[in-house]
Structure formats: structure tokens, C-alpha cells
Amino acid sequence: MNGLCMPRGPGRGRFSGCREDGASPNTVSIACTSIRHPPIVVRRSAFMESQLVSVFDNHPQDQAALELPLLAAGPWQRAVVWRDGAPVSAGHFLAHVYAVAAQLPPAPCAVNLCEDRYAFLVAFCAIALRGQMNLLPSSRAPQAVAEVMATHAGAYAVGERRPDVAPAHFHHLPSLLQVPATPADEPVPCLPADQVVAIGYTSGSTGVPKGNIKTWGNFHASNAGNCRMLHAQVGRGFHVVATVPPQHMYGLEMSVLLPLLDEAAVHAGRPFFPADVATALAEVPEPRVLVITPVHLRALVESGVRLPPIAALVSATAPMPAELAQAAETAFGAPLLEVFGSTETCVVASRRAAADEPWTLYDGVELHPQPDGTTVRAPQLDEPITLADLVTLHDGGRRFRLCGRHADLLDIAGKRASLGDLTRRLLAIPGVKDGVMLQLDGAEGLGVQRIAALAVAPDLSEAAILEALRRVVDPVFLPRPLKRVEALPRNETGKLPRAALLALLDSRA
């Protein structure tokens, strides 16, 4: 079923498969054809495997001259998804993709609102096969979806269930319980490497969500780094359970691209409560990989729930405290791999958080510190991207440590601190379950912007929290105001959109 597609000339169309046309000993010439005329499926030889690796290890490349398979690894019968305790094969998955693609309306793009991970996978691939873009808002909230659709004329929304407040032009996915009939020799479809398949939006934790364009070539390249990291730890053929939504770039990389582009399978659900995580893990075979966030992991550790054997945990979206990583590794008997990336760059590094290791860059990734952040060069980036994160480089530039974000650095009355460190000190107070420090908009006298804090501490008063902070924080950085709340407005990945934090502060003013 493995296929590598490179067109000989113009006419790269949608719904393309592959056939080999008389390759010489040193070259491979492959023509792409329409789905209406099923071509022969190309099997990757060792030579073709080496060429695929070479393509992405020597970026940039001429992506316009390359097509890449939609489903890149494993035999036709291999499991792509586990649903209700049963595997869904690659063949059945592709049959659903073809059937859904034929029913989608003509349009330039679609907001993929599917909650079930299998439905998301089918819709994601069907949308791409139609030559359309998957729009991935930071939230499925009606306003967030409406804002994204307003910036893309002609967009529609697709989902496996109709939302309570359905967006305009909503397309309901057909049932995916029955497998449509499909020819036994149905090809693995290919997409141009330079085709834009998704626009992922940032979470809004630092302001207004921004869209980031991703081509199919970008995703193939970024997935290669994640595969190398996971293969080194757990081997091949692992099974993923993820608590993060597929619309988030971290969730997309770890629970959508891995089953598409590696010999991995993913559980269709998105378990939330600790008991649900344990149940989902029990529904997939070993080796198991649990993809999680620090917020979900803390709840899992504190619950005391017993999990089936897992080979590794993967975490992202927020800094992982070393003590939480150590507690998780002890409780679940598996290494915790923290990955570093962003919606803009995808994952570019990993580390063992329990040992407080420096981050190790993926192959081909380079960091270049700047006064206001860090420029990233990576195989999956068409051009360098500068992030707000500040780093120090080690071991010849192959490893690094984070030093906060430029926007988080504070300089008040000649004294310096960072919001990240202040938040860490707030969370270290016994009795504080969750919390965050932030700098407010606008300035008071002498141009100083106030610092505020929100804390979840059911058994502590605001005065007691402030008194505890006074012991570890310089007085100029004490929050004014500090508000005690029942819960922080975390989104599905545990992040804190700035607008939601400001609204929560205003609501208690």
C-alpha cells in the first residue's frame, strides 16, 4: 500500500493515485492519474525509501515537482484507528475517505469540527482530496468558528454531529458505521507536496488567534521528526490514545499525522476523566502511547487511577514541572517525553522533563537567538520563523534551554522577572490548585503596567495567597489585583486565552 508519487509533468490533479511508468535503474518515473481510472499502487523500494528520507533531510526542495501519499505506511490490512475496541483497517478507512469526498460541496475550504477522531481523520483527508483546505480554529465555540469562516469566503463547516448552534453552511457527515463497497485494487491517493491542506489557528494565549498555512509537504517533513523520536523510545507499530483535540496542532501531529504517515494507530475517542483514559488505553493493544497535557496529567496522577501498561507518555501545550513528570513516571512506569513546538513551527524538539534535561532539537532544525526571540529553521518550514521564546544554546547548538518569552519579561523599577517564573511561584504555594500571573493592558504612573493574578485555591483566602507570595517575590511584582476563582478558563488543550483571562478579571472587579 506504500506509495511515493512524483508527477512527470503538468496536470497534477485532485483525487490522484500513482502508477509506475518504466523506471530506469537510477530513476523512478511515476505518473499521476484520476480516481476514475484506478492506477497501479506503487510499492516503495529501498531506493525510494532513501529518496523520501533524502527529500526531507535536505530541505528546501522543489515541492512543486513532488507528490506524496495520503497514507504512507503499512499493509492494506493494518489498523489506522481503534473504534469501540475494534480496529479499522487502512482499506476501510480509504473507502470512507473516498465516499465522503464525493459528497462534499464545492468550496475552497471547510472548518473541520469533528469531535470523534475517526470522523476527523476521514473528513480531513476527504477535504484535502477535494483540493480544499481544512480550517482548524483554536476552539469550536460558535464565535471562534464564525470568525474563521468570515475570513474565508465560501467556507462551509463539517462535523459528525450537528452543533447546538450550527454555523452557516454546515455539512453533516454521513454515518461511518458501514463500510462502502470499494474495488480491491483501489489506489492510495497522493497529494501535491505544495498543496495547502490546513490552516491552523493559534490559541490566542498571547492575543488574537492567527492562521498558519500548512502544506502536505510540511506535514510529511514534521512527522518525520516525531516518528524518529517515538521509534527510538517505543519502536514501531504503537497505538496512541490522546486527550487533546485533533484541531490543535499538537493533537493533529500526534493523533492524525502519525496514523496517516507511520505504522501507528489511534483511539477514536478523546477521553477526559482519568477513568475514561484508563478505559481507552485498555481498548488498544501494546505498545501504548498516551498523548496528554500537563493539566490532564496532573489530574490523572492525583486521581490514583491504575492504567494498563504504557510505553511512553507525550506532553505539550504548557511547561511540564519536573516534579509532576517524576510523579507520572513513577505512577505509570513509563518515560514522559515533553515536546516543544508551536502552531507556526510544529514540533521541533523533545526532552525528558523528569530529569530537567535541556531540549534536543530534531534532525535538521536550527535555532538562532535574536534580541526579541528565536528564529527557527526546520525541514517543515518554507522559510524561517521567529518565535517569542528566548533560549540559550548548548552542545554546539543541538540542545537548548528555555529562558521565557520576550513578552513575558518584566522590568519594573530596575528589577527584572518573568511572568513564567512568577506563575511557577504562585503554583508552588501549598493549597493553590491552579493559577496564572499576567500583565494588564495600559499603564499607570511612570508607564508601569500592573501585574494581576488568578488563583484556584478553595481553602485559602486572597490575603493568605498574597502573604505567601511576599515571602518569595519582590514587592514590585506582587499582583494587584489577585483574584480567587473557582476555575481558570482553560481551553481544550489546557491553554489560557488572554481574552478569557481579562474577562474573568473584569467579571470580579
**28 plus 157 within the same structural domain:** no
Instruction: Answer yes or no: pTM beyond 0.85.
Output: no
C-alpha distances in Å from residue 267, one per residue of 32, 142, 257, 380: 32, 27, 13, 26
Let me know if residue 454 belongs to a domain.
yes
d(CA 359, CA 349): 6
Among 359, 377, 405, residue at a domain's last position: 405
Flag whether pLDDT at 394 surpasses 80: yes
Closest CA to 247 of 214, 294, 275: 214
Closest CA to 118 of 241, 261, 266: 266
Cβ proximity of 308 and 281 under 8 Å = yes
What does the pLDDT average to over 418-447? 80
**33 plus 92 within the same structural domain:** no
Q: Give, as one character, the DSSP assignment of residue 446.
A: G
What pLDDT does 92 receive?
92
Helix axes 294-303, 322-332, angle to 10 degrees: 50
Flag whether pLDDT at 55 surpasses 70: no
What pLDDT does 497 receive?
85
Q: How many domains does the chain have?
A: 3
Flag whether pLDDT at 431 surpasses 70: yes
Let me know if residue 178 belongs to a domain.
yes
For residue 6, what pLDDT band results from cuts at 50, 70 and 90? very low
Let me know if residue 280 belongs to a domain.
yes
**247 plus 363 within the same structural domain:** yes
Among 344, 375, 405, residue at a domain's last position: 405
What pLDDT does 46 receive?
35
What pLDDT does 43 receive?
33
For residue 458, what pLDDT band results from cuts at 50, 70 and 90? very high
Stretch among 238-252, 316-330, 491-505 having the lowest mean pLDDT? 491-505
What pLDDT does 291 receive?
97
Helix (H) or strand (E) holding 347: strand 346-352
For residue 144, what pLDDT band results from cuts at 50, 70 and 90? confident
Let me know if residue 219 belongs to a domain.
yes
For 230-258, write each residue's pLDDT tens digit. 999 999 999 999 999 999 999 999 999 99
What pLDDT does 75 receive?
75
The C-alpha cell that represents 146 in the structure block? 464564525
What does the pLDDT average to over 477-493? 88
**283 plus 180 within the same structural domain:** yes
% of the chain beyond a pLDDT of 90: 59
What pLDDT does 168 receive?
84
What pLDDT does 257 receive?
98
What pLDDT does 35 receive?
32
Rounded to a whole number of angstroms, the distance between the first and last alpha carbons of the chain is 61
For 75-127, write each residue's pLDDT tens digit. 778 999 999 999 999 999 999 999 999 999 999 999 999 999 999 999 999 99
What pLDDT does 183 receive?
52
CATH of the domain at 432: 3.30.300.30
Give Cβ neighbours of residue 347 (< 8 Å, ≥ 6 apart).
222, 225, 226, 250, 253, 316, 339, 340, 341, 362
**401 plus 421 within the same structural domain:** no
Let me know if residue 40 belongs to a domain.
yes
d(CA 279, CA 367): 40
Flag whether pLDDT at 22 surpasses 50: no
Which domain range does residue 255 map to? 79-405
**400 plus 467 within the same structural domain:** no
Flag whether pLDDT at 194 surpasses 60: yes
Let me know if residue 74 belongs to a domain.
no
Mean pLDDT of the chain: 83
For residue 38, what pLDDT band results from cuts at 50, 70 and 90? very low
**63 plus 95 within the same structural domain:** no
**399 plus 417 within the same structural domain:** no
**422 plus 502 within the same structural domain:** yes
Flag whether pLDDT at 188 surpasses 70: yes
Flag whether pLDDT at 167 surpasses 90: no
**113 plus 153 within the same structural domain:** yes
Let me know if residue 28 belongs to a domain.
yes
**176 plus 250 within the same structural domain:** yes
Stretch among 135-139, 214-218, 472-476, 478-482 having the lowest mean pLDDT? 472-476
For 149-158, write each residue's pLDDT tens digit. 999 999 999 9
Let me know if residue 115 belongs to a domain.
yes
Indicate the residue type of 383: E
**109 plus 21 within the same structural domain:** no
The C-alpha cell that represents 419 in the structure block? 511572568
% of the chain beyond a pLDDT of 70: 81
Q: Give, as one character, the DSSP assignment of residue 339.
A: E
Among 387, 405, 423, residue at a domain's last position: 405
Cβ proximity of 13 and 34 under 8 Å = yes
Higher pLDDT, 7 or 506: 506
CATH of the domain at 282: 3.40.50.12780
Cβ proximity of 297 and 145 under 8 Å = no
H-type alpha helices, 38-134: 46-57, 90-103, 117-129
